[in-house]
């Protein structure tokens, strides 16, 4: 079974530039997540999609971050304009959760390491 | 989500058992206990989860205290590939949006 794919793996940009990350979840997984992981910290959820609808984006800085999941499969996360504090690893995950049972797992991609200079 | 407390770091010798503790004194009756680990330069991976009873799988065992205020992840025979950050996470089965709230975890170092 193919895992969660992400690209690019690394990206270096200057502050105020824009950047986009792409994620392809495991086939058939309805739920997709984007996390931000700052060095030395655990991942923090930015946005969660169920199919192509947003379930939770409470921690997404909406003035500069946007995400979409067209057709309920692939997803892109965009930052425009980037700030120095956006330097982090951006992780995509997917799951085929059974709501209300707690018996599910999230599968994570390798992440995209973003450096903003 | 209820909070968990884990030691920042632990060391263990290769081929010996490892017991990783997690305190969750404010756990509610509908919270599942999940463990994930993150190997260097990789995304987190699921290890195990449980509700009340002890659980075993091919990767590890999960021992849950009778009052559910603490749990222990047990790696029966640590290898160098088990060196990772281990996260203990509580998830409310009734919460609805299935998100995981990660803390800073325990960094496990395996000594050859």
Predicted pLDDT of residue A25: 96
Its sign, for the CA torsion A92, A98, A99, A103, is negative
- pLDDT tens for residues A13-63? 999 999 999 999 999 888 899 999 999 999 999 999 988 899 889 999 999
* Cα A15 off chain centre by: 20
CA-based R_g, chain A, Å: 14
Q: Å from A98 to nearest chain B CA? A: 9
Provide the pLDDT confidence category of residue B29 given band limits of 50, 70 and 90.
confident
Separation of alpha carbons A79 and B40, rounded Å: 25
pLDDT-based confidence at B94, cuts 50/70/90?
low
pLDDT confidence band for A81 (50 / 70 / 90): very high
% of chain B surpassing 90 pLDDT: 80
Question: What is the reported pLDDT for B8?
Answer: 96
**How many beta carbons lie within 10 A of that of residue B69, not counting itself?**
12
Residues of chain B with Cβ-Cβ distance to A45 below 8 Å are 99-101
Residue with the two structure tokens 């940009």: A13
pLDDT for A100 beyond 60: no
CA distance B108 to B83: 5
Q: Which residue has the tokens 């088990």?
A: B82
Compute the nearest-CA separation of A8 from chain B (Å): 14
Over residues A82-88, the mean pLDDT reads 98
């Amino acid at each position: 079974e193919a895992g969660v794919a992400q690209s690019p793996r690394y990206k270096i940009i200057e502050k105020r530039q824009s950047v986009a990350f792409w994620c392809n979840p495991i086939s058939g997984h309805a739920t997709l997540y984007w996390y931000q992981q700052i060095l030395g910290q655990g991942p923090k959820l930015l946005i969660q999609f169920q199919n192509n609808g947003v379930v939770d984006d409470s921690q997404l800085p909406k003035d500069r971050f946007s995400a979409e999941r067209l057709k309920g499969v692939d997803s892109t996360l965009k930052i425009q304009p980037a700030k120095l504090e956006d330097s982090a690893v951006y992780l995509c995950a997917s799951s085929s959760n059974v709501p209300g049972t707690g018996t599910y797992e999230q599968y994570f991609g390798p992440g995209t390491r973003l450096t903003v200079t | 989500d209820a909070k968990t407390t884990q030691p920042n770091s632990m060391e263990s010798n290769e081929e010996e058992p490892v017991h990783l503790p997690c305190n969750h004194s404010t756990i509610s009756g509908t919270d599942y206990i999940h463990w994930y680990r993150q190997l260097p330069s990789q995304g987190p991976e699921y290890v195990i989860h449980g509700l009340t009873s002890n659980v075993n799988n091919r990767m590890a065992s999960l021992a849950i205290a009778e009052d559910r205020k603490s749990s222990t992840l047990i790696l029966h025979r640590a290898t160098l590939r088990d060196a990772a950050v281990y996260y203990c996470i509580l998830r409310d089965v009734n919460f609805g949006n299935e998100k995981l709230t990660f803390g800073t975890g325990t960094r496990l170092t395996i000594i050859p």
